[in-house]
Structure 1
């Protein structure tokens, strides 16, 4: 039998001090909190995201911005145009505090105002076309991977057909023959709706393949087998188990698809089959500036720079978001 340990006079046994409430507690973090902490460390991606939010705000408040810093986009200022050369009077394309980006040749419209209003068309078409592609691609990709068999074969072969389809040629043919009025729409509203449909409907296979691959991986995971063994029905598994785990790749691909749609819309407008004049679009402004770039390069600079910076910001933000949502990154 062991002998008790004798303590020196004045010595006391060590007792565990009570932990103050909230101290020493390890709190778990959600996937959103982990992704946000990673994204904050990526200053380049965060800067791209801030610029995207700024651009959306400017496009939404275009009338207010133009009212404070510019002139109406279709207002002519021919008194500021040289009658001999048809280019703006003054250096740098007529840039001044009154006309921040200068004026267009011949008619003297404010380039700054038209660039601001052009952002509305580009972002509107890009966002809704991306939304259409994401919805169709997600639904068909999940169905193909989850049900398999003949459904997977049919959807996969349909994807192959759409991927081989010459979308640019089809867009040129379809948008070029759009009537003045159809489906209760007319004018620019009808053209915008047709462009959104063409871009969104024919781009869904790209995200559909990604979602199909992700769903094939998730379908074999333990939590899906556990839900199925507990008697969960197909709608529950799809909406409660699979879709929440597909949010990350959907968000990442959507941020990378938006700039591609912006470029596609600008290309259609540049070729003259997009939104028609006098409605301001970045592609349409580049098309008008193509014949003046030798004597007035500033006319081409601003819409081209707007497209470049916008696409770059979306791509940087999309890359950073992909790294932040990647569970393998640290």
Structure 2
């Protein structure tokens, strides 16, 4: 039995207008992994809020002189007329908070707390970003080399990781930062202290990312695309930089966003203990250390503490959202 022929005007004939309308539509396009990750991240409103706070803090740090010019006073400027000399605390109620002094003034000297927090963001974020960059670069390079080549190379790098992980980092940082003089390595002042903290935090924390990258590389080097590159004659450096590293971007980014708040807390702890950036340069940890002497003036500790809390929370929320967005098994 033969199939019936399409007769003009019958139900099986395609509508010419529908055919023309379908021809104008765009062809279905595939989406890259980056586009898929961005679509997932856009659905996570909490992660986007964290990213917004991070961008805001970075802008505050970059535009600190301009912000202080219009909304505050120089961070090192004394305003002793705002201080009661008998108690060394602010004269006005609520710690001297007003339109001229948004967060009030410090006890003893009367410096503007708002301005010092704004400028303190520059030091805290700069040290955290540079230390994270240093640890990520060292850990990624050594981790991927150890995981790809294996053998004695892997054994040497892995034992080096174990040695660095055995250091009590906080105690070592206190000892090293305490013995370095005010002038060394051709640097002095804040430049020396910031460079020293970046080196201590970044150089001695690379094994954490190194172990993650090594484990991922051990899995990736057995994949088909690596075998295909070897069969085409690709050498080790090409495979590492063109085949393995692009597939390690996701865990590296996730680790970086989660370790930045850890480095912020570490810098604040060192400044609180008096071995970080030296006063009177404003840092959040240094302000908390000074506030410990004036427990009767709570606003002195509340505002720098809130700055640290909000910054760390924003980075953690964004890091969690980024991990979910870059997870290939996520939906």
| Global fold match (TM > 0.5) | yes
**Cα distance, 1:14 vs structure 2:** 2.1
**Cα distance, 1:227 vs structure 2:** 1.1
Q: Aligned residue for 1:14?
A: 13
Q: Is the 2:7–2:13 Cα contact (8 Å) retained in structure 1?
A: no
Q: Is the 2:61–2:119 Cα contact (8 Å) retained in structure 1?
A: yes
Of 90, 100, 103, the residue aligned with 1:101 is 103
Q: Is the 1:323–1:329 Cα contact (8 Å) retained in structure 2?
A: yes
Does 2:185 correspond to 1:183?
Answer: yes
Paired positions, count: 328
Q: Aligned residue for 2:4?
A: 5
Query: Which deviations, in whole Å up to 9, do the C-alpha atoms of 1:107-162 show, x marking residues without a partner?
Result: 10000000000000000100000000000000000011000001111111111111
**Cα distance, 1:248 vs structure 2:** 0.7
TM-score by length of 1: 0.96
TM-score by length of 2: 0.95
Distance 1:93 1:81 in 2: 10
Query: Which deviations, in whole Å up to 9, do the C-alpha atoms of 1:230-269 show, x marking residues without a partner?
Result: 1112121111110001111111000011000000000000
**Cα distance, 1:21 vs structure 2:** 4.8
Does 2:191 correspond to 1:192?
Answer: no
Q: Is the 1:178–1:191 Cα contact (8 Å) retained in structure 2?
A: no
Structure 2 runs not aligned, ≥5 long = none
Q: Aligned residue for 1:299?
A: 300
Q: Aligned residue for 1:274?
A: 276
Structure 2 counterparts to residues 172-321 of structure 1, below 5 A: 172-293=174-295, 295-321=296-322
Q: Is the 2:134–2:202 Cα contact (8 Å) retained in structure 1?
A: yes
Q: Aligned residue for 1:322?
A: 323
Q: 1:236 to 1:106 in 2, by over 3 A?
A: same
Distance 1:122 1:235 in 2: 36
Q: Aligned residue for 2:135?
A: 133
